[in-house]
Structure 1
């Protein structure tokens, strides 16, 4: 028996909820922007800019698999407006941290996304 556990929240409300919640799970000095994917109502785009001298900018694509779980895909990292080598240990560690924070944010929004 298949269960219907799909995302039913309005995408703009979802983006607003992510914009409110994501900063609470990130480091206080990091900045995040969230925007809707115009082609897919179950997908949002997350941009996280690290604070400090590194000034990295990370882009992630987050697609809701169901009302609770997001599939997070790392897209790109830039430093000072230029593509950065994502294979460095520092950047890999940051990517892993941000993916974990994005999943944490999705968990915090579960009450809203499962209605």
Structure 2
């Protein structure tokens, strides 16, 4: 998602919308949707670094996600594949597994540490 470019136009600017549709990469859009769907299940925000990488291959998509504790002693890694045309389900599946494995505890500790660093 971080390497993707988003362009916004007025919804009544049909010439621009038509031009942009010609250069849109459908796989990239689906990959971004899978990566971003994690935020519904993982309380990441801007104070908890979490790595997510989705890659399409044919009709399949693989979503790899990693998260680490503040001290680096604990890490979580989940990698799952699913239908590339259903990126939200793939993100949901990965997000649920991360939640079950304690990712939100890592997020809470990150936020506490960032607040502590900001007070210094």
> Which one has a larger percent helix, Structure 1 or Structure 2?
2
- The two structures share one fold, judged by TM-score above 0.5: no
TM-score normalised by length of structure 1 = 0.40
Which structure would you say has the larger Rg?
A: 2
